[in-house]
Amino acid sequence: MDLSTREKNIWIELLASIFVAVYYFSHAYAVGGFSDIANAVLGKVIFNAIVLSIVSSIILTIIFSPKKHETKDERDILIDAKATSLAYHVLIILCVLIIGHIMFNEGLGYFEFYRVQTTTVASLMHFILIALMVSGAVKSISQIFFYRRGY
């Protein structure tokens, strides 16, 4: 597959964030990080996730070997803008869902049927983190899609 430097960089960014997300959320859930933010083990998981992010980026850069520098042309800017717009809408929808979850679960006492779990500060942090990661992935995937399909 003939990939431009920009496409290679997008793949590196996407794959590295998927590795980090899978590692972080599987381990954070296992150590109870969704219920307690002041968990010493969670700190170690966060540190390992940062290290994994750096290492996976380096390895993926070696695998994809993108050229050092490539200036953005008008098509890159257009695709970037379209993908950012899509990611923004996804982020807004997820933020509204998080706010709705908090309102129904915690704020408004008369929605007892909805109360599935107590929203902790840690779970809230993770919901926001998931929203940011999903919107980032939407941006990368839509960029790859527009580059491949043509725009």
Partner 1 sequence: MAKKKIQNNIRKLRFLNNEMTQAELAKLLDVTRQTVLAIEAAKYSPSLELAFKIADVFEKPIEDVFQYV
State which residue, 11 or 34, has the beta carbon closest to partner 1. 11
- Verify binding: residue 106, partner 1, rule CB under 8 A: no
Q: Which range in 5-13, 20-28, 36-44, 82-90 contacts partner 1 by CB under 8 A?
A: 5-13
CB of 38 to partner 1, least distance (A): 49
Nearer to partner 1, 73 or 112 (CB): 73
> Do residues 53 and 12 touch, judged by C-beta distance below 8 A?
no
Tokens 């430097």 belong to 5
| Number of alpha carbons in the 13 Å side-chain half-sphere of residue 136 | 17
* Contact assessment for residue 23 and residue 52, using Cβ atoms and an 8 Å cutoff: yes
Q: Answer yes or no whether residue 149 interacts with partner 1 by CB under 8 A.
A: yes
37 phi and psi angles, rounded to 5 deg: -75, -25
In terms of C-beta density within 10 A (0-12 exposed, 13-18 middle, 19 or more buried), how is residue 45 classed? buried
Query: What's the min distance (Å) between Cβ of 60 and partner 1?
Result: 20
**Is 112 one of the binding residues for partner 1 (CB under 8 A)?**
no
- Cα–Cα distance, 56 to 75 (Å, whole number): 28
C-beta of 74 vs 112, nearer to partner 1: 74
User: Which residues bind to partner 1, rule: CB under 8 A?
Assistant: 2, 4-7, 70-71, 73-76, 147, 149-151
